[in-house]
Amino acid sequence: MTKRYSFLALPLSTLLMAFAHPTLADTQVVMLGTGTPVPNGERAGAGVAVIHDGEAYLFDLGAGVVERATQAAERLGIDSLYPTNIEHLFLTHLHSDHVLDYPELLGTYWWRRENPLQVIGPKGTQGMSEGIYTMLAADTETRLKDKSPITNPDTAYAEVTEISQPGTVYETDDIQVEAFPVSHGDWDLAYGYRITTPDKTVVISGDTSINKEVEKQAAGADILIHEVISRTGWKDLPKQWQDYHQYAHTLTDELAELANRAQPDLLVLTHVLHYGAPIETVVEEIQRDYAGEVQLADDLDVYE
């Protein structure tokens, strides 16, 4: 079931401005996929949408995320998440659980799309995109020469920018997206993102082991969306898997320490690896050491 959370962490002066200018407080965060590589019928692969001023900014696109985006448009009335309206995609890294719906988004109803999808991601994003064009070439070529009208032939392909260095990767008058490096196993280039709008700062950890840069970026953020692995679930794993997970992911007690230092107004847990332990265990484990607000995200949860 979808849950909507409102939280008023803004100073009074900002709130008064928001009432005077309703568009100021219009940033929403929609959890499109809260899963991991472990198959889970209730959770799509990784995907978070930040909705601001009628535009959707997607961060990762794991399997099932496009279907969730369609559900968000249909059930929650968020039109900017209807697939052909999605124009901004940012990728944290190229693990399959973060990109498998990229072909889905490129291929879905592209002939009715007005503008090409803009994709920003780590080195390798361009090559991956070309692989998808090859995969979809028969569809693209047939539709292009067929009799059916095509709104904009350019939309069969994305406009890809590979991140050359951390910092601002996208900016308009009232939204800024910054990429920062995180530590995720052997990935040379894995990023987290910090999104700043007039009414909210949202930090997305991406997949990462415990990381000082995330802590720095999340300091005082309104919402920190962080991946996590349960200490209880982890300790029953074989040694090799324990070692890998500690190298690539963040244990609950490590995240509690980070949150204590960064003090986000809201900590949202996603991409939860829990193995033998029930998924709710991660909330209990974090609350043992951290008194701030923590939410375990489900698909289609909205924070506003």
Which residues contact Zn ion by CB under 5 A? 95, 97, 207
Minimum distance from residue 247 beta carbon to Zn ion (Å): 12
Catalytic pick from 26, 60, 79, 97?
97
**What is the closest distance, in whole angstroms, from the C-beta atom of residue 36 to Zn ion in the complex?**
6
- What's the closest the beta carbon of residue 229 comes to Zn ion, in angstroms? 11
Long-range contact list for 234-242, CB < 8 A, 24+ apart? 234/273, 234/275, 236/275, 236/276, 237/275
C-beta of 52 vs 68, nearer to Zn ion: 68
Cα separation, 301 vs 142, in Å, equals: 38
Measured distance CA(43)–CA(273) in Å, rounded: 12
Closer by beta carbon to Zn ion, 242 or else 263: 242
Nearer to Zn ion (CB atom), residue 151 or residue 246: 246
Minimal distance, residue 97 CB to Zn ion, in Å: 4
The question of whether 146 is a catalytic residue gets the answer: no
- Find the DSSP H helices in 77-181: 96-99, 102-107, 125-135, 137-145
Q: Where are the alpha helices (DSSP H) in the chain?
A: 12-20, 65-76, 96-99, 102-107, 125-135, 137-145, 212-218, 231-235, 239-248, 252-262, 281-289
Nearer to Zn ion, 97 or 215 (CB): 97
What are the catalytic residues? Answer: 97
